[in-house]
Amino acid sequence: MNSLAPPPHVRDAMSMKWRSAIEALAILPLLTAGAVLSGAAWKLLAAQVVLMLVLSALVEAAWALVRRQRMEGRFLLYGALFALMVDRTSPGCVAAAIALGVLAGKKPLGSARLQHLHPALTAFVLLHVISPGACGGLLARNMPVGLASLWALALFLATGIRSWRPVLATFLGAVPAIALVAPFCGLSPWLSAWGPWLFAMTWFLVDPRGEPFMPAAQWVYGILCGALTALLLVPGAGGPAPVMLAALLMNAVAPVLDDIAVLRNIALRDSDVVKAIL
């Protein structure tokens, strides 16, 4: 019978501090790449990162005040990730998107889940709807984003703050989907977007707060994630937007997969009890 997946979903104080420290170390190559590729405009990138951090902190503080809860330190990560995903244009739209993203990422009605939608991911999709030209940022650089995401993913798996099941399942879902469609459209859609794809998987798809908790649900979730992100990268779509949209959709589906896995476990347990009685 399946049980809850082991940590990293446990939220004791020490595990949260350890996870935050590893995530800060993992995002350093992305921030460095963003500064180097910005050239003389690195100061503008730094200002944008600070602005996103401040806005995320304000929204998180307001939410904690209204809900009478403690502030979560991960708003720093949300702000930094979002700053790397947008261009230095339309500051008003960018500010509105991160504020709405942090709010939309919460689940006010209460739930066993820690997060409903990833705030930075939600903000990116909202910004793509409001101002498509403002999306892109570092994600437009395929190779640097891919290499930095590989480093982060390796670090997450080595330290155990990410589960290996959805990672492996994502690759298992993506490969058959690409093989199915590649004869009709070639490999160029995936070769041009493997960096954003790895970025989305590392920071959004396999985030403990957005993925399912149950092991069986994690396998299904990963396979669906891989297949959906691969199929949405059709010719003409281009860029990181299809990958991020697929990641957001799978974040929304994750609680349903958990519920199905729990109901299946209950049914198996009840059948075992009936067999024992008979």
Residue burial 135-169, b: 16+ Cβ < 10 Å; e: rest: bbbbbbbbebbbebbebbbebbbebebbbebbbbb
Phi and psi torsions of 86, nearest 5°: -125, 155
What is the pLDDT, as a whole number, of residue 255?
82
Residues 6+ apart with CB under 8 A from 156: 22, 26, 162, 202, 206
CA–CA separation, 217 vs 35, rounded Å?
38
At 142, the amino acid letter reads N
What is the pLDDT, as a whole number, of residue 14?
45
What is the pLDDT, as a whole number, of residue 6?
45
What is the pLDDT, as a whole number, of residue 5?
47
Domain regions of the chain by residue span:
13-277
What is the pLDDT, as a whole number, of residue 88?
66
Please answer whether residues 170 and 205 qualify as being in contact, where contact means their C-beta atoms are separated by less than 8 angstroms.
Answer: yes
What is the pLDDT, as a whole number, of residue 109?
40
Averaged pLDDT in 10-residue chunks for the chain of 278 residues? 46 64 86 76 76 78 75 75 75 75 62 63 82 71 83 89 87 84 71 80 81 85 86 63 80 84 78 58
